[in-house]
């Protein structure tokens, strides 16, 4: 069974084609910086070769068609035609209260995912565009949605409720949902298995630091609390999202800037975070370059970014009455030793002791704390794609329904 996994982020499309008979990756790729001038597709056909294509990639629809072309290219592709794809699994960011598990996509599911756009305006539209483009280019192939919100459904009510009139929750589902669930779940399980301990016995914090950032407290093997809320705007400072903010800022800024609430929220979603503070970029690599060159606002953005991670680590350690394992993952979490070092600094009272050499080593999966550190700090690359492929196989089975229907 060949399963294609499509993960449309806010500015990227990651894909992997799996042979699910042995869970091996046949091909993978990344369309990076979608919508920017320097967008590119990096495609890797395992055992055949790699290619980088630079062309205009204005949106996720073009990214999907470039991905299919790369997979079926006569020279460097791994498929003769799209008919070889048995199923497509999609990362879908917001499932609202309707989906606490993955699901095979039909018209009702699409309608429900569209209903959630209001809560995930940066992400669900990219996910929808990805699903619709795949349906067009791979007609009849079953598509599965795997929701970012599902893992956090275990949060207790006193944690997921906002202290606002209760009817907003009852009538409209206004509550904390949390996101990046597939990633938090994957790295938590992987970290526990590397440490050869049951996850349920570890008080763990997982920090997913990508363009979007979230941090989760995991106790008894379940998500206890996570930093994102009703939407992926809450919590940590992100590439272009503000994270935590006094909600009254929306009204105050609206009055001053003569914008309605949606106008202000768009600024909080698209023009804030690293980008808003630095005025340089939403991309951490650019922030480092500018900060190293002496740009004070880039230095400030970096300081704010790391400070907020520290603040959440402290909060969640308090929620769990201690901390055994801290895991960093995603683009920044996996690749940025500086951010990891600053985020872990001044935690003597918790017993976090980082090993500088381990932190800077090129290994991808590693323990970066000292042997005597009370908290084991780790870097674990996320693999949302493999999780999604497994979920897709679980729901579609090993036989393609396309064949079964004949």
Paired tokens of 98: 């309707």
142 or 333: CB nearest ligand ADP: 333
Residues in CB range of 52: below 8 A, 6 or more apart: 40, 41, 42, 43
**Closest distance between ligand ADP and the C-beta of residue 66, in Å?**
17
* Closest residue to ligand ADP, based on beta-carbon distance: 331
Determine the Cα–Cα distance for residues 252 and 188; give it in Å rounded to an integer: 40
Task: For ligand ADP, give the closer residue by CB, 47 or 362.
Answer: 362
Least separation in angstroms between residue 62's CB and ligand ADP is 17
**CA–CA gap between residue 173 and residue 176 (Å, rounded):** 9
- Comparing CB distances to ligand ADP, the nearer of 93 and 155 is 93
Q: How many beta carbons lie within 10 A of that of residue 281, not counting itself?
A: 18
Applying CB under 6 A, which residues contact ligand ADP? 9, 11-12, 210-212, 239, 283-285, 330-332, 335-336
Cβ nearer to ligand ADP, comparing 241 with 358: 241
In angstroms, what is the minimal distance from the CB of 188 to ligand ADP? 17
User: Cβ of residue 212: shortest distance to ligand ADP, in angstroms?
Assistant: 5
Instruction: Provide the minimum distance between the beta carbon of 221 and ligand ADP in the complex, in angstroms, as a whole number.
Output: 24
- Is 148 in the active site? yes
In this structure, what token pair is assigned to residue 102? Answer: 């993955």
32, 44, 148, 336: the catalytic one is 148
Minimum CB distance to ligand ADP, residue 274 (Å)? 7
Ramachandran category for residue 97: left, alpha or beta (phi over 0 → left; psi -120 to 50 → alpha): alpha
Nearer to ligand ADP, 35 or 263 (CB): 35
Shortest distance in whole angstroms from residue 13 CB to ligand ADP: 9
| Cβ closest to ligand ADP, residue 122 vs residue 224 | 122
Nearer to ligand ADP, 277 or 332 (CB): 332
Catalytic residues: 148
């Amino acid at each position: 069974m060949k399963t294609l996994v499509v993960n449309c982020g806010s500015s990227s499309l990651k894909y992997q084609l799996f042979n699910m008979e042995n869970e091996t990756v046949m091909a993978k790729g990344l369309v990076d910086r979608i919508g920017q001038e320097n967008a590119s597709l990096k495609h890797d056909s395992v055992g055949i070769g790699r290619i980088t294509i630079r062309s205009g990639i204005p949106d996720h629809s073009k990214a999907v068609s470039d991905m299919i072309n790369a997979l079926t290219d006569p020279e460097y592709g791994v498929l003769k035609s799209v008919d070889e794809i048995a199923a497509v699994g999609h990362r879908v960011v917001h499932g609202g209260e309707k989906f606490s598990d993955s699901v095979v996509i039909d018209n009702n599911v699409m309608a429900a995912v569209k209903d959630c756009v209001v809560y995930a305006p940066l992400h669900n539209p990219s996910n929808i565009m990805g699903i619709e483009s795949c349906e067009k280019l791979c007609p009849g192939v079953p598509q599965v949605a795997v929701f970012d919100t599902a893992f956090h459904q275990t949060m207790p009510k006193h944690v997921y409720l906002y202290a606002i009139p209760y009817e907003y929750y009852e009538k409209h589902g206004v509550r904390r949902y949390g996101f990046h669930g597939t990633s938090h779940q994957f790295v938590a399980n992987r970290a526990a298995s590397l440490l050869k301990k049951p996850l349920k016995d570890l008080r763990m914090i997982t920090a997913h630091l990508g363009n979007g950032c979230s941090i989760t407290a995991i106790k008894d093997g379940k998500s206890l609390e996570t930093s994102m809320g009703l939407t992926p705007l809450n919590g940590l400072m992100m590439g272009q999202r503000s994270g935590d903010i006094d909600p009254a800022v929306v009204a105050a800024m609206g009055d001053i800037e003569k914008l309605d609430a949606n106008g202000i929220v768009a600024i909080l979603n698209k023009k804030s975070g690293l980008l808003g503070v630095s005025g340089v970029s939403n991309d951490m690599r650019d922030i480092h370059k500018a900060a190293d060159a002496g740009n004070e606002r880039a230095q400030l953005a970096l300081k704010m970014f790391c400070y907020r991670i520290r603040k959440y680590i402290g909060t969640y350690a308090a929620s769990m009455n201690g901390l055994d394992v801290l895991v960093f993952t995603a683009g920044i979490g996996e690749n940025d030793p500086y951010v990891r070092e600053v985020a872990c600094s001044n935690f003597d009272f918790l017993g976090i002791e980082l090993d500088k050499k381990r932190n800077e080593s090129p290994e991808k999966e590693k323990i970066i704390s000292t042997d005597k550190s009370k908290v084991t700090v780790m870097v674990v690359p996320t693999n949302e794609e493999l999780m999604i492929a497994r979920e897709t196989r679980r729901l579609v089975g090993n036989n393609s329904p396309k064949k079964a229907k004949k």
